[in-house]
Amino acid sequence: MPRHPVDDELRDLARGRLAPGRTVDLPMLSGSMKPLLAPGSVLEIAGASWRSCRPGDIIVFQDGEILTAHRLLLALRLPGLPLLYQKGDANPRGAWIRGERLVGVVVAVTPAGGERSRCDTAGARREARHSARRHLRWDLKKRLLATVRLARRGRSAGAG
């Protein structure tokens, strides 16, 4: 049976080998990026490496056997170990991933029943950077408060 070109492009994307200038359309299946990306939205994804992505970009990365689209909040370019801090806009906390897990970046979104909008324009990228800073501040604040609570519990448990 002949292979369909879309299957080849999806396979290339999942392997991080999508040809430059090529894109793949995939549906958003979860609500982790609501309200920006609701389930049923169609994401246009271009191949990318961690080197080309900036905070605010919606990155696509390997998460076990599936592809996940989340917002990049912070990139640490350590020698031999690029680390990316990503978070779904609707998720309570973010997580670190290794840069080599990144396979693409969302360049356009078509909401279910809506109009396609670009994510790679200057205005969209400015809004995305602002959103990334807001999410990063919120995430760090929650982690700091949780650490303080744990420290207080430890101090009160050890005081007896």
160 assigned to some structural domain: no
Structure-token pair, residue 63: 């998460």
**Which has the closest alpha carbon to 59: 138, 143, 120?**
120
96 assigned to some structural domain: yes
130 assigned to some structural domain: yes
Mean pLDDT by 10 residues, the chain (160 residues): 60 81 92 93 93 94 92 91 94 93 95 91 92 91 87 69
Chain Cα centroid distance, residue 8: 23
80 assigned to some structural domain: yes
Confirm whether pTM is higher than 0.85: no
93 assigned to some structural domain: yes
120 assigned to some structural domain: yes
Count how many domains the chain has. Answer: 1
68 assigned to some structural domain: yes
pLDDT at 147: 87
CATH number at residue 124: 2.10.109.10
Q: By CB neighbour count within 10 A (0-12 exposed, 13-18 middle, 19+ buried), where does 41 fall?
A: buried
pLDDT at 146: 86
95 assigned to some structural domain: yes
Distance CA 23, CA 106 (A): 9
Domain interval for residue 102? 5-155
